[in-house]
Amino acid sequence: MKNRSLVLLSGEGSTIPAAEARALFLAYDPESRFEESGPRALVVTSSADPFRIGRRIAFARRVGLLLQDRAEAEPLLKGRRIRFRAYGTALEEAPVDPEEYLTEFEASIDLVSPEYELTLFRGKEDLLAVTSPLTMKQQWSLRRPRTRAFFHPSAIFPKLSRALVNLSRCKEGEVFLDPFAGTGSLPIEAFLIGARVTAVDLSEQMARGALSNMKHFGQEWLGVVRADANRIPVTRADAAATDIPYGRASSTRGRTPSDILSLLLGSLAEIMRPPSIAVIMHPQSVEVEAHSDFLLVEEHHLHVHKLLTRTISVLRRR
């Protein structure tokens, strides 16, 4: 059954939030359809469960079931702890009275720990949805790099790591691979969404560090393997995401980033099957060249500082 969902995107000012939301809905329903309602709201027609998406997503403030009218929310909210929140650019021109939206429901008001929230977005049109904000609290700070058993300055923060995993469209129970795992930033997030995780890194220090971090968070991966990403000792991966080394905080072992990227795609082609997705983060100066086994689906750019902009390339196995 197709439902309409509302995604309120976070305001990072990049193309990543919308792309992450699309990737998640497409993972569970390849026939999902999307329409933007202003720069911050995405309306989705899909059979995917918006509350499952909400529990996984990184760059969104709210995800929930879009309503035709308030009466449609009554079966969901009856007897529940609820609250009301309004978002959007038009609120200053037309303030909202929460009581107008909540008094008709047989529910208790709870502003601190509600089970559900009636979420209003006011943009070029009013969009009303039922969301579950507490299930979207991902506790990013508890997994930031310096809280881990093993730290290295190349480690990626958990929110971006989760987005990279989500862009790979990996689902629960599928095998997720990070061929340049480093300290395990992406594998940690992949495990939390229910994937079966394999971490690979050529550095013994990093492989041992990733193993320490896996144990620190009580996670059980399929393995932490010390190996060259050019010859990945894995027979199958359903999805892959990684941040290739480029010689600042992580060693390239004498290879150029372009060579690393080219060799990696050849190795991934041997263990991934169509139409699985590989997500690769690399310096913007390194271009993804045409490849017989992978189609470049989309690119996103992250400005780090004046000397570095990272590109996130999303590739589909042909």
- All structural domains of the chain: 3-136 (3.30.2130.30), 140-317 (3.40.50.150)
pLDDT at 118 > cutoff 60: yes
Mean pLDDT throughout 86-107? 80
Question: How confident is the model over 151-207, as pLDDT tens digits?
Answer: 999 999 999 999 999 999 999 999 999 999 999 999 999 999 999 999 999 999 999
Q: Is 152 exposed, middle or buried (0-12, 13-18, 19+ CB in 10 A)?
A: middle
Question: How confident is the model over 8-25, as pLDDT tens digits?
Answer: 999 877 899 999 999 999
Q: Is 299 exposed, middle or buried (0-12, 13-18, 19+ CB in 10 A)?
A: middle
pLDDT at 92 > cutoff 70: no
pLDDT at 249 > cutoff 60: no
In angstroms, the CA 8 to CA 26 distance is 17
What pLDDT, on the 0 to 100 scale, is given for residue 305? 82
In angstroms, the CA 6 to CA 127 distance is 8
- CB burial string 81-95: b at 16+ within 10 A, e below: bbbbbbbbebeeeee
Mean pLDDT throughout 260-283? 96
- Count CA atoms within 13 Å of residue 125 on its CB side: 10
Place of tokens 């690119």: 299
pLDDT at 250 > cutoff 90: no
Mean pLDDT throughout 91-111? 82
Question: How confident is the model over 22-44, as pLDDT tens digits?
Answer: 999 999 999 999 998 878 999 99
Q: Which residues contact 276 (CB under 8 A, 6 or more apart)?
A: 237, 238, 239, 240, 316, 317
Question: What is the Rg, in whole angstroms, of the alpha carbon atoms belonging to the chain?
Answer: 21
What three-state secondary structure class fits 147?
helix
